[in-house]
Amino acid sequence: MARGDDLNGRAVCAILVSYHPDPALPRRVAAVAAQTGGVVIVDNGSDPAALAMLRGIAAAHRGVELIENGANLGVARALNLGAARAIDRGFAWLLLLDQDSEVAADLVRRLFAARAAHPDPERLAIIGAGFVEPTGAGRATPSAGAPPWQEVETAITSGSLLAVATYQRIGAFRDELFIDYVDTDYCRRARAAGFVVATTRQPLMAHAIGTPAAHRWLWLEKWTRNHSADRQYYIARNDTVMLREGGRYPHGAWALKSLARRLRAAKRVLLYENAKARKLAALAEGWWHGLRGRLGPRRPDAASQ
């Protein structure tokens, strides 16, 4: 395997977490496999038809392998399992991906180029990919004459490139968060350790957060993420945990700030989304568990939906 200072795609292993993926996944994996040295797909308990597709993907591409968890162990645990396998295979770099991200054909090359342009690339814990969403919004800020990178507080998991040595120094993703805010926590720990988090200014992938949908309210157009009830739970809980652990809110003010965020989320659910009762109950439960510091899967005895 290429050395850690050999900055090319052959030194990169992509870690892709799957959970009931759609039929277009083989095309997306092929686009990733073409520019990396290997791909590890970590499946979190998909149905038999999806598993058959995943096994076919692994058989069709040299260097692509599948880890079948048999149950939903959460995104954080799946990323750590994939990283451990990549390290065992001798890779020096990890490229983290969601199953629905559509990456540019030159994603890896441009991530390394942005990293190399940074004045202190060894301090970069993560160089994330700028992206656009189906709504037309995105987390990329192209600007003429600006460097190809921009420092940020948090880079989303998907499209993030990180060195194995840095991952080992910062520590693994927190399994107990399960899903949501896994990237926020990792980036926070990285910055606390003296590292920098950055993303590319140019969009390098198409990526949707949730299932965005437009709604009309009077003369305004409103977008909602339409997260499932379980996702509402994890967002509410883990955001509350992040606020509590941030240490910036005296006299328990973090709890009130979290409550205000939950009320705003509840308003969006009430106005625009379906399954209102389930989602509102999940929001309340997540906030309460966040206050109490209860982590891990929402249902310890069953896979999360």
Dump pLDDT digits (tens) for 241-265. Answer: 999 998 788 888 999 999 999 999 9
Q: Is residue 80 within 8 Å of 177, Cβ to Cβ?
A: no
Name the band, by pLDDT with cuts 50, 70 and 90, for residue 3: very low
| pLDDT of 53 above 50 | yes
Lowest mean pLDDT among 53-57, 103-107, 266-270: 266-270
Residue 90 DSSP code: T
Residue 23 DSSP code: T
| pLDDT of 4 above 60 | no
Give the CA distances from residue 100 to residues 97, 117, 138, 227, in Å, rounded to whole numbers and listed in that order.
8, 29, 15, 15
Tokens standing for 228? 């499932």
- ∠ at Cα 205 (14, 228), nearest 5°? 85
Q: Is residue 14 within 8 Å of 86, Cβ to Cβ?
A: no
Residue 125 DSSP code: E
| pLDDT of 134 above 80 | no
% the chain with pLDDT above 70 = 90
Residue 151 has a pLDDT of 96
| pLDDT of 286 above 60 | yes
> Considering only CA atoms, which of 110, 87, 101 is closest in space to residue 7?
110
% the chain with pLDDT above 90 = 79
> Considering only CA atoms, which of 206, 209, 208, 220 is closest in space to residue 272?
220
Domain edges within the chain: 9-206, 213-292
Residue 302 has a pLDDT of 54
Residue 5 has a pLDDT of 40
Q: Is residue 94 within 8 Å of 170, Cβ to Cβ?
A: no
Tokens standing for 64? 């692509």
| pLDDT of 15 above 70 | yes
Annotation: CATH topology of 9-206: Spore Coat Polysaccharide Biosynthesis Protein SpsA; Chain A (3.90.550)
Strand partners, 102: 206
Three-state SS for 115?
Answer: helix
Residue 115 has a pLDDT of 96
Average pLDDT over residues 105-122: 96
Cβ of 285: how many Cβ atoms within 10 Å?
17
